Structure 1
């Protein structure tokens, strides 16, 4: 059962179209997996539509003279001919149905969410039980990846210099804060220190605006080049 969801601010930003593409993709994928957030997005969308409509009505009252001009122009239009022109072409336009893409990692197939179909991916970088592919969204300091952890694998204990969003696409993992399943949307920052590990393996979609900061053992040696790794 999904227990972790985008904040209300993120959902509102998604509806308003204010989020960076990488974050919007994460919210979109989560909403396809989570009925609760899908319903919330529908509610927020309706509220925004009502608000926009109310503002349009208010503006029309303030522009009475312009309304009279528009009404006069509309009265002079020949709507009969306009409708005939629109309906003259009886050719049926069929839109292709978008299919999910399949990727293969370590002898296992995964079905990617449709939101990632047209996103360019780098070749997979393999580091032991960790595999990572970068997504080319050209967002400056915002970096997004697909991260695969083999069964029995883990990410060394770390915190975050900036923020990190992790959306679990397949499998499960756990850390000091709990257990996560497919669909969980986890938001972390420098206040969190954790060591994700998985028994069965997992595939995640991640977004971060700065490097990880390893906090234990010899992994701390990688921190000086951390900006090259995230």
Structure 2
């Protein structure tokens, strides 16, 4: 594999034209200003006044970056982020990078949102160059994370096509159990376990149980059980 193939996309090499950005901010002048700035880069902004508007009418996965104001009236930006994370985990859906904007930032707040997975936190009024650079970095993160997510989603689709018994055997294999142990756990013969293992490997395009476990190492069995 060449260095280009093995390296994640960088903010410098990535073609971000027509990338989509959601702006969630209650101040129309801020939204309009941000939208005009983003359009200078051929990015596509979508404006939302309230967190509830975004939750009700938008699909987060359709955006490459979310710009969220911390102090939105009603459901604030932090509560919105919490809800987006909850829905993403519950639905196993993709959540793009989040950048927070705030005129009242403090260190504990910054630490909290970054620990939760936000990619950046900028104080208002954000310098245009700093904001554009932060969004470019978010796009690079999005490209890498979205690729991983899509790969996992494709693999889960393949797993869903296994029989129920094959998924049970798969869970045992990934847990590290040997054929005889799996046979005892599932009350089937070792030969039946081996037949299921061969079918699973063929369907998931791997040769050995070790390759199978490696392929599934980042996907919790709870997603296919």
Give the TM-score normalised by structure 1.
Answer: 0.26
Q: Name the structure, 1 or 2, with higher relative contact order (CA <8 Å, separation 6+).
A: 1
Which is richer in strand?
1
Which is richer in helix?
2
